[in-house]
Structures are given as structure tokens and as C-alpha cells.
Amino acid sequence: MVWSRNRKIIFLFSSILGLLMVGLASFLPFMGAKAAAPKAMLTLTARQAQAAANCSKKTASPSQYQVIGNANTVQWGYFSKKSPPVLAVHSKDYVTMDLITHHAGDDYARMIQGDPGIESIYQWTASEKGVKERGPGVHVLTGPVYICDAEPGDLLEVRIVDLKLKPSGNPKYAGKTFGSNAAAWWGFHYKNLSQEPKPREVITIYEMDATGKQQYAKAAYSFKWTSQTTPDGKSHATIDYPGIVVDHGKVKETLNVLNGVKVPLRLHIGAMGLAPKEADIVNSIPPGYFGGNMDNRHVAAGTSMYYPVSVPGALFSAGDAHAAQGDSELDGTAIETSLVGKFQFILHKQAKLAGTILDKVDYPLLETPDSWIVHGFTFRNYLAELGPDAQTKIFQLSSLDPALKDCSTKLRDFLMNGMNLTEDEAYSLMTVSGDFAITQVVDGNWGVHGIIPKAMFNPKQIKPKPVA
């Protein structure tokens, strides 16, 4: 494996530790070890300078990096072009990173306790928080990773080389991984409950074999959400703040849930993408042209996502790891769990895209071994289309009908630009062979994805892939 040949556990930026201490809301990245990290503030400018410095040192073969998930390597609830990178990498480099679930607080003992990184993220006392800013969205996002030489107009290919369950850090649950499904107020089902009490939010905790030998999850228990009080003294009658640690003395656990049911695992990444250019802080919940919280269950090991770059360095982040989810993510969440992902980044410069299958791709595109998958949304670019209040409005305008229109337009254009088809050929082919599915109906900017099989094309008659 390339991994063992050139592994680097690097402590980026460590040379300037302590030199720059400024009050910006940014954290020093800490990587490669689980011990408590020294904390320091570093300006965006300084981090970017550091990234630029690292970018100037290119090695002959791809480098390997690791980013441990902890309070210093994540941001909670947003994508931001202003976020200082945790790492700068060159095209073709590999990065292994922890993807820590934002639902771990549903069962502290099983999903937080004993893992110093996760503990540091969730740390919250009356006087301090491990991650100072949470919101406006909900996802714990590892990153961002700065891609050297990436500029607006380029396309970033993110190959998911590997994706593994992260074992519980608690010795009591050795060899197990747990996940939480929250049937929550933002779920599509929430106004469609048939039984009392309604409405209600219900958490189901799922248990998995961390070794991956058993390819299924089983429900461990469930509980109805009851009002929880956070260290700041606030009460939360519903799941209205990210990362609330549930007091299990205040909920009633129901055992023997989903007896005998073995839910097939579908490890994938719910939220992954680049920093958008339109706003400084972008809520992590609604997906868009930059990817983000697409919640497509096909974004799994062995696939590649292509994202249009809209800010220098691309600024890649990932989180919202899922053990299993069906198309639609109906009740609001998947089996939310923590995973470890290994990624390779391939930068496709704009100038080299013409004449390739990726020509004019300005939307998030997934390549699986068997298919190309385009992603449509209620709004193609809600940040630009909905004006200054876009991040509020988007949650009031959700609909699948325009998402299918957006998705079918993108698939048509992909077939015309990448597969050399006329418009009439494209529409006929996508009708007789393309499948449109409901990606999610819980993230504001609702999603539809269109799948086109690869095998039906004659490689000689379509455009080539760009040289990596």
C-alpha cells in the first residue's frame, strides 16, 4: 500500500505556535496524537500563509496525512471560506480523517466516552466549550483541507479510498460501534404521526460490529426525547441545538426494539464538500453546488465526488458520517455514527477540462464503479438565488418538483457535454435508462439524484476522463 511507503503524521503549522495569538474565532489544528493539544489562535492570514508555504514543498510521490478528529480539527455547523485550514495538501495526496458524528450526545457512554478526540469536541461546562462556535447548522465537519493550487473554476475530485466504522472508545463496548437515528422535528414524517403522543421525537440507538465482519446494524434501544438542560442552563424541549448530551436519567429506554431486524450497512458520508464563495458562514444543513450535506447514500468507499471550486484552496471538509440510510432520509437522520475516511484529492485545473467527460461540470457529480450520479436540489444555488436571507428562506421553500427539474437538467447537460449526445438523444436515453431517486427531504434544499449507468456507453464514443 502507498500508505505504508510514505506515511507522514504531520503537525502542520506547529512552527509558528504561540507566535500569533489573535482573537479570531479559529483554532490551532492538532493532528496525529490523541493527547490534549495546546490551544492557540491563529489568524486566517497566518494559516493561509502557512498553507501557501506548505504548498511550495511538493514531493515526487503523493504524501499521506492523518487528521485526528478533535476540538481543534473540526468546525461545528458551517462551511466557511474564512476558516483556517487544518492542513494543506497537493493534488494526489491522501488524507485519512476522523468523521465524528454530531449525534454522539444521544448516548455519551457508547459514542463519546473514552475517545479523547470526541470528548474534546463535546466538552461543555458552565465555563467553557471544546468547540466554541456551534451552528448555524449541526454537523461536526473535519477540516477544512486546503488544496494547493486550487482556484475558482477548477474541479476537485475527492476519491473515497476507504471508509471504516470508528470503534467505541469505551472499554465497556470494545469492538462495537454505535449510531443514533433521531426521528426529529425536521423529519418529513413529523407531521404524519398516527399514534400518540404527537408530535414526538424518538432516538433509536443502533449497535454494530466495529470490525465490519457483521455487515448489519441492530437496534439496541430507543427513547422518546424529553426536555434536556445544557450546561448554559437552557432547556431543550426538542432537538434544537447541536450536540446536546442526553441525560439518561431523564429518558425512558425501550429495549427489544426492531427485534430480529438486521439493517444492512451502507457506510457513507452525509456531508462533504467545499467552502462556497457566497457567504462567510454557510449553514451546514442545506446542500448546494459546493456539495455539502447532500446525504446521498451512494457517497461511499470506492466512489469519487467532483466539486466545482469556488474559493482559493477549495477548502474541503467532511462529516455527518452514516452507517446506513435509505433514499430520502425520511425521519431526519441516518444511522449517525463516527467513521474514519481515507481520501485522495485530485485537482482538475479548469484549463484541462475542455474536451473531457467533465467538461462544464459546475455541480456536484458522483462517480461510482457502475454509474454517474448527478445531484439536483430545490434550488441549484440557493445562496445566490434567494438573496440576503437565503439561509433562512431555503427552509420554507423545500420541494421535490424543482429538485427533479434541476437534476434532470444537469443530467441532460452531462450527457450532452460529456457523452457527446444531442439534446434529443440525451432526453431519450435518460428516460429509458436513468433512474431518479429522492436523496433527502430533510435538509431544506431537498435533493433528487439521477443515476446513469456507465456500461451502456461505448468508450470510443464518449469524451475521455481528464488526466489526473
1 is a contact residue toward its own copies (CB under 8 A): no
232 is a contact residue toward its own copies (CB under 8 A): no
List of residues 6+ apart from 130 with CB closer than 8 A: 71, 119, 120, 121, 122, 123, 124
- Considering only residues 46, 412, 418, 443, which one is a binding residue for its own copies as defined by CB under 8 A? 412
- Considering only residues 340, 421, 443, 447, which one is a binding residue for its own copies as defined by CB under 8 A? 421
- Considering only residues 435, 454, 464, 468, which one is a binding residue for its own copies as defined by CB under 8 A? 435
CB of 335 to its own copies, least distance (A): 5
What CA dihedral angle connects 183, 186, 188 and 192, to 10 degrees?
Answer: 70
- Given the DSSP bridges, would you call strands 87-89 and 140-147 parallel, antiparallel or unpaired? parallel
H/E stretch holding 385: helix 382-385
H/E stretch holding 74: strand 74-76
377, 309, 320, 372: which is closest to 346 by C-alpha? 309
Closer residue to its own copies, CB minimum distance, 196 or 389? 196
Question: Which range binds its own copies by CB under 8 A, 5-13, 75-83, 100-108, 323-331?
Answer: 323-331
**Reduced to 3 states, what is the DSSP secondary structure of residue 466?**
coil
- Considering only residues 75, 438, 447, 466, which one is a binding residue for its own copies as defined by CB under 8 A? 438
List of residues 6+ apart from 286 with CB closer than 8 A: 292, 293, 377, 382, 391, 394, 395, 443, 444, 445
- Considering only residues 18, 152, 175, 453, which one is a binding residue for its own copies as defined by CB under 8 A? 453
80-119 binders of its own copies (CB under 8 A): none
In 312-387, the DSSP E strands lie at 316-322, 339-348, 365-367, 371-377
259 is a contact residue toward its own copies (CB under 8 A): yes
Closer residue to its own copies, CB minimum distance, 47 or 322? 322
| Cis, bond preceding 231 (omega within 30 deg of 0) | no
> Max Cα separation, the chain?
65
CB of 387 to its own copies, least distance (A): 24
For the chain, the residue count is: 468
Closer residue to its own copies, CB minimum distance, 85 or 286? 286
- Considering only residues 10, 17, 49, 202, which one is a binding residue for its own copies as defined by CB under 8 A? 202
CB of 216 to its own copies, least distance (A): 7
Identify residue 178 by its one-letter amino acid code.
F
Q: What is the 3-state secondary structure (H, E, C) of 85-144?
A: CCEEECCCCEEEEEECCCCHHHHHHHHCCCCHHHHHHHCECCCCECCCCECCCCCEEEEE
325-344 binders of its own copies (CB under 8 A): 325-335
**Reduced to 3 states, what is the DSSP secondary structure of residue 392?**
helix
169-188 binders of its own copies (CB under 8 A): 181, 183, 187-188
Angle made by CA atoms 452, 455, 460, in degrees to the nearest 5:
110
28-67 binders of its own copies (CB under 8 A): none
Q: Could you tell me if 303 and 81 are in contact, meaning their C-beta atoms sit under 8 angstroms apart?
A: no
180, 219, 217, 438: which is closest to 330 by C-alpha? 438
Closer residue to its own copies, CB minimum distance, 250 or 262? 262
221 is a contact residue toward its own copies (CB under 8 A): no
417 is a contact residue toward its own copies (CB under 8 A): no
- Considering only residues 232, 240, 280, 423, which one is a binding residue for its own copies as defined by CB under 8 A? 423
Closer residue to its own copies, CB minimum distance, 128 or 424? 424
263 is a contact residue toward its own copies (CB under 8 A): yes
192 is a contact residue toward its own copies (CB under 8 A): yes
432 is a contact residue toward its own copies (CB under 8 A): yes
Closer residue to its own copies, CB minimum distance, 127 or 461? 461
* Cell numbers standing for residue 99: 468523521
- Considering only residues 94, 146, 178, 206, which one is a binding residue for its own copies as defined by CB under 8 A? 206
Question: How far apart are alpha carbons 335 and 327 in whole angstroms?
Answer: 13
CB of 386 to its own copies, least distance (A): 19
269-298 binders of its own copies (CB under 8 A): none
357 is a contact residue toward its own copies (CB under 8 A): no
CB of 303 to its own copies, least distance (A): 17
* # binding residues, its own copies (CB under 8 A): 71
436 is a contact residue toward its own copies (CB under 8 A): yes
CB of 220 to its own copies, least distance (A): 12
CB of 453 to its own copies, least distance (A): 7
